[in-house]
Amino acid sequence: MNRNELLSVANQFGSPVYVYDSAKIKSQYTRLTTAFGKVKNLKINYAVKALSNISVLKYIHHLGAGLDTVSLQEVQLGLAAGVPAEQIIFTPNGVSLGEIEEVAKLGAQINIDNLSILEQFGNKYPETPVCIRINPHVMAGGNANISVGHIDSKFGISIHQIPHIQRIVTNTGMRINGIHMHTGSDILDIDVFLHASEILFETAQHFDNLEFIDFGSGFKVPYSENDIETNIEELGERLSERFNRFCKKYGRDLTLTFEPGKFLVSQAGYFLANVNVIKQTTSTVFAQVDSGFNHLIRPMLYGSQHHIENISNPEGRERFYSVVGYICETDTFANNRRISEIKEGDILCFQNAGAYCFTMASNYNSRFRPPEVLWHEGEALLIRKREDFNNLIENQVVVDFKKVSTIEI
């Protein structure tokens, strides 16, 4: 999207507002499927947690993707978006057996990462196909906060516990139809990822009736100009060749599965915010916007960087600004960032705002969550309304204290 298109969205729907470019989502999906074009059976399951708007799910499914979900509610969102249950995989962590049973009733593919739950589920539902999430003890992600394959991770069943898995499978007679791993986000070192993949191939040989191997995702996207990213083309070339050799050894063609979230939607997203105040202190110039970590928490939570552009004055003289929000906490989006001169009323654009941005939004300070807009074929489509006061109180129960008796202590 260009600046004029973004400004038109801000003018039409107000600020703050999230905007998603469907063309970028499509190009990322095509890039991934092309990179693995030499694999006979490829399945992309979009990670719903990255951006869960029903219209986005519907569009990505239209491109050919299934869904990767982590909660019963995400499964229900996928079904509401028209995605068939058999194209949804459920990969939770730390949920109850009851929640897994509810999802199994809906017909989604179950993925289990806990020996206890595996045994309980296998005893009750031995005929239901189950995928097993393995922890390869390889940290392929670039950020320790979002790497999930290390030895102390709460995710997955340790590769050292394969004998325990085999015992459970034998005792319950359950059917294992998939093996899964996810090493973390922001993968840069392809050799490390391929090393983890070798562990997954070795694990897969212990099971005779597999239908797919799921390699997770975590591909890094660039967050600023000249930033590095996962070389999807090289990964596709090398992993495809290895996967095809494994299938030949295994004796039949399996499906190679990925579950990208950030890779598909991050760069497609923009967050637009209005500048309320320019505030000069003894050492800093603050640009204070009509938002805060209630709408975009990633810079404060992960230390993530989102390129910020003044789309109201893109050619202006650059100055140094600290961009902050209106929340009564320290909600700093950027410190001493070079941005084209900002005036009150300008619109700032935060890039890479498609993944883990709106989905982490809250009503902190009783602020309304912003609307979401899908930019599709030159048209701005409203896909979530801006909240209002009724949304804040609709689930609250007001107590009539005149009718409540008091007890003296």
Residue 259's nearest CA partner among 150, 375, 148 is: 148
Q: How far apart are CA 68 and CA 74, in angstroms?
A: 9
* Encoded tokens for 124: 């009750």
**SS3 at position 68:** strand
Angle, vertex CA 258, rays to CA 257 and CA 259, nearest 5:
130
- Beta-strand relationship, 88-90 and 372-376: unpaired
Could you give the CA distance from residue 179 to residue 213 in angstroms, rounded to a whole number? Answer: 5
Q: Does residue 349 carry a catalytic annotation?
A: no
Phi (first) and psi of residue 348, to 5 degrees: -100, 140
Amino acid at 15: S
Q: 237 exposed, middle or buried (CB, 10 Å; 0-12, 13-18, 19+)?
A: middle
Q: Which of 16, 13, 19, 53 is nearest to 331 (CA)?
A: 16
What Å distances lie between residue 328 and 7, 366, 367, 401, CA to CA? 28, 11, 11, 30
Contact yes or no for 189/139 (Cβ under 8 A) = no
Residue 379 buriedness (CB in 10 A; 0-12 / 13-18 / 19+) = exposed
Phi, psi of 320 (to 5 degrees): -95, 125
Of 131, 328, 349, 357, which is the active-site residue?
A: 328
- Rounded to an integer, what distance in angstroms lies between the CA atom of residue 180 and that of residue 199? 11
Contact call for residues 212 and 254 (beta carbons, < 8 A): yes
Q: Looking up tokens 């320290």, which residue turns up?
A: 330
Read off the tokens for 287.
């640009």
Q: How far apart are CA 356 and CA 145, in angstroms?
A: 14
Break the chain down into helix, strand, coil percent, rounded to 5. Answer: 35, 25, 40
Cis peptide before 16 (omega within 30 of 0): yes
Reference 386, options 1, 16, 11; nearest CA is 16
**Catalytic site residues?**
328
